[in-house]
C-alpha cells in the first residue's frame, strides 16, 4: 500500500512539474523574441552578441544546484557514510550533452542571423516548420506514437503560423537584396531543422541513459549545454570584435546605456529559464509536446508585439491565434482521453472490505472459488482415508 501511495505522489509531482514547465516555456518563448526585437529596434546590430545572450545565463543554475546539494546531503547524512557529491553527472552523459550544447550554440547563431534578415511574419512561418521536424525526428529516434488528436494539433499549429506569411510581403525590410532575403529564409529553415532534431535527441538520451534523471541532474545538464553553447558564441564574438563594440553600442542605444545592459541581462536570464523549461517538458512528457509549446508561442508573440510595440493587428494574426489555440486544445484533449483510457484498463487498488465480524473479506471470482472448493474436498477425503 505504501508503494502505491509513493507512485501516486510521484505522478502528482510530475504533473505539477510538467504544468509549470509548460507555462514557463510559453512565457519565456514569447518573451525572448520580444526582447531581441527590442534590441534591434533601438539600435542593436551585433548578431554574435545576441547568440551569446541565448546561453550565457547558465551560471544562475549553480544557485539551485547548490541548494539541492545541501538538501540531499542533509537527507542522506543520517542514513549513509558515503560522501555526497555536488555534481552527479557521469562522463558519458557529460560528453553527449557537450555535443548537444555545441549544436544548440550553432542553432542560436543561425537563428540570430535569420532574425536580422527576415521580417517577423516570414520568420514565424519558417520557424513553425520545426514542429514538423520535431514530429519526424521524434518518430525516428524515440518511436513517438501519434494519435488523431496529436496529428490534428500539429497540422493546426503549423497552419496557425503559416497564415502569418500572408502579411509577409509588407514586412520585408526596405532596401534588402533578394540574396540576403533568400539567405535569411534558408538560415531560418536550418535553425528550425536543427532545433527539431535537438529536442527528440535529448528525449532519446533521457531514455537510454543508465543514470537516474533527477532534478539536480537536469540542472547539471543545462549548465553543461549552456557552457558549450556559450563557448561557441564567445569564439565568434572574439573574431567579430563584439566585446570592444559593446560599450559604444550601449552609449548609442535608443533607450539609454543603463537600459541596454538591463536588456542584455534580462535576455540572458529569460533564455536560460526557457531552456530549463524545455528540458523539464521533455523529461515529464515528450519532445513533441515541447515542440508544440514552441509553435503555440508564435502567434502569441505576434499578439504581444501588437500590445508592446504598437504593431498593427491584422486579421491574419487573429486567425493564426485561433488555429493555434485549436491545436493546443486538441493535443491536451487527446492526452486527457489517453489517461482516462489507461485508468479504465488498469486494475484499481483498493483496501479490503470488512465483514460484520471485523475481519477482512477477500473478493474471489466464481471460477477461482470452484477450484478452491474442489481442492478442499480432495484434501478432506485424503484426511479421512
Helices (H) and strands (E) in the chain, counts: 15, 0
Model-level pTM greater than 0.85?
no
Domain boundaries, the chain: 14-345
CA proximity to 131, closest of 279, 331, 333, 338: 331
Q: How far is the C-alpha of 300 from the C-alpha of 294, rounded, in Å?
A: 10
Please, what sign has the CA dihedral across residues 160, 162, 166, 169?
A: positive
Q: Tell me which H or E stretch contains 119.
A: none
Please, what sign has the CA dihedral across residues 103, 105, 108, 114?
A: negative
Reduced to 3 states, what is the DSSP secondary structure of residue 53? helix
pLDDT tens track, the chain, 385 positions: 555 555 677 778 888 888 999 999 989 988 888 888 788 888 888 888 988 998 899 999 999 899 988 988 887 765 555 677 888 999 999 999 999 999 999 998 888 787 767 665 566 666 667 778 888 898 889 888 888 888 888 888 778 767 765 655 555 555 666 677 677 778 888 888 898 899 899 999 988 988 888 888 989 999 999 999 999 999 999 988 888 899 999 999 999 999 999 999 999 999 989 988 998 888 888 888 888 888 778 777 777 877 777 666 677 777 877 887 788 788 878 877 877 777 676 544 444 444 444 444 444 444 444 554 554 444 444 444 4
Lookup: cell for 230: 556559450
* 272 burial type by CB count under 10 A (0-12 exposed, 13-18 middle, 19+ buried): buried
Q: How far is the C-alpha of 8 from the C-alpha of 2, rounded, in Å?
A: 10
According to the model, what pLDDT value does residue 105 have? 92
The separation between CA 185 and the C-alpha centre of its own chain, rounded to angstroms, equals: 24
Q: How far is the C-alpha of 127 from the C-alpha of 293, rounded, in Å?
A: 13
CA proximity to 198, closest of 296, 128, 92, 279: 279
According to the model, what pLDDT value does residue 374 have? 52
According to the model, what pLDDT value does residue 7 have? 61
| Cα Dmax for the chain | 108
User: Which residues are within 8 A (CB) of 25 and not within 5 positions of it... i.e. 6 or more apart?
Assistant: 274, 277, 278, 280, 281, 290, 293, 294, 297
Angle at 26 (CA atoms; ends 338, 69), nearest 5 degrees: 90
Please, what sign has the CA dihedral across residues 249, 252, 258, 262?
A: negative
CA proximity to 296, closest of 118, 103, 185, 134: 134
Q: Which residue is it, cell 538591463? A: 262
According to the model, what pLDDT value does residue 348 have? 47
According to the model, what pLDDT value does residue 194 have? 92
Q: How far is the C-alpha of 90 from the C-alpha of 99, rounded, in Å?
A: 15
Q: Which residue is it, cell 514565424? A: 124
According to the model, what pLDDT value does residue 71 have? 85
Q: How far is the C-alpha of 154 from the C-alpha of 128, rounded, in Å?
A: 10
According to the model, what pLDDT value does residue 1 have? 53
Amino acid at each position: 500500500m505504501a508503494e502505491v501511495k509513493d507512485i501516486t505522489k510521484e505522478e502528482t509531482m510530475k504533473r505539477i512539474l510538467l504544468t509549470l514547465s509548460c507555462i514557463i516555456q510559453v512565457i519565456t518563448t514569447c518573451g525572448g523574441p520580444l526582447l531581441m526585437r527590442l534590441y534591434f529596434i533601438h539600435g542593436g546590430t551585433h548578431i554574435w552578441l545576441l547568440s551569446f545572450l541565448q546561453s550565457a545565463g547558465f551560471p544562475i543554475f549553480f544557485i539551485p544546484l547548490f541548494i539541492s546539494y545541501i538538501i540531499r546531503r542533509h537527507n542522506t547524512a543520517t542514513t549513509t557514510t558515503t560522501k555526497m557529491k555536488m555534481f552527479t553527472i557521469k562522463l558519458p552523459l557529460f560528453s553527449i550533452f557537450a555535443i548537444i550544447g555545441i549544436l544548440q550554440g550553432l542553432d542560436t547563431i543561425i537563428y540570430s542571423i535569420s532574425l536580422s534578415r527576415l521580417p517577423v511574419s516570414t520568420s514565424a512561418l519558417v520557424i513553425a516548420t520545426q514542429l514538423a521536424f520535431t514530429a519526424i525526428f521524434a518518430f525516428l529516434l524515440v518511436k513517438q506514437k501519434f494519435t488523431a488528436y496529436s496529428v490534428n494539433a500539429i497540422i493546426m499549429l503549423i497552419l496557425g503560423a503559416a497564415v502569418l506569411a500572408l502579411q509577409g510581403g509588407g514586412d520585408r525590410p526596405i532596401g534588402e537584396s533578394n540574396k540576403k532575403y533568400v539567405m535569411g529564409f534558408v538560415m531560418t529553415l536550418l535553425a528550425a531543422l536543427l532545433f527539431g532534431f535537438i529536442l527528440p535527441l535529448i528525449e532519446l538520451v533521457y531514455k537510454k541513459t543508465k543514470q537516474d534523471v533527477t532534478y539536480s541532474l537536469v540542472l547539471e545538464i543545462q549548465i553543461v549545454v549552456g557552457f558549450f553553447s556559450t563557448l561557441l558564441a564567445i569564439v565568434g564574438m572574439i573574431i567579430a570584435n563584439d566585446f570592444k563594440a559593446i560599450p559604444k553600442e550601449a552609449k548609442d542605444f535608443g533607450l539609454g546605456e543603463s537600459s541596454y545592459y538591463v536588456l542584455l541581462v534580462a535576455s540572458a536570464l529569460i533564455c536560460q529559464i526557457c531552456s530549463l523549461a524545455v528540458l523539464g517538458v521533455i523529461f515529464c512528457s515528450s519532445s513533441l509536446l515541447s515542440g508544440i509549446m514552441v509553435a503555440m508561442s508564435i502567434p502569441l508573440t505576434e499578439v504581444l508585439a501588437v500590445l508592446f510595440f504598437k504593431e498593427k493587428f491584422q486579421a491574419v494574426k487573429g486567425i493564426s491565434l485561433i488555429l493555434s489555440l485549436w491545436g493546443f486544445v486538441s493535443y491536451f484533449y487527446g492526452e486527457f482521453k489517453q489517461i482516462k483510457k489507461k485508468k479504465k484498463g488498469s486494475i484499481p487498488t483498493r483496501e479490503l472490505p470488512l465483514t460484520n465480524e471485523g475481519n477482512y473479506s477477500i473478493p474471489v471470482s466464481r471460477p477461482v472459488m470452484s477450484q478452491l472448493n474442489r481442492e478442499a474436498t480432495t484434501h478432506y477425503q485424503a484426511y479421512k482415508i
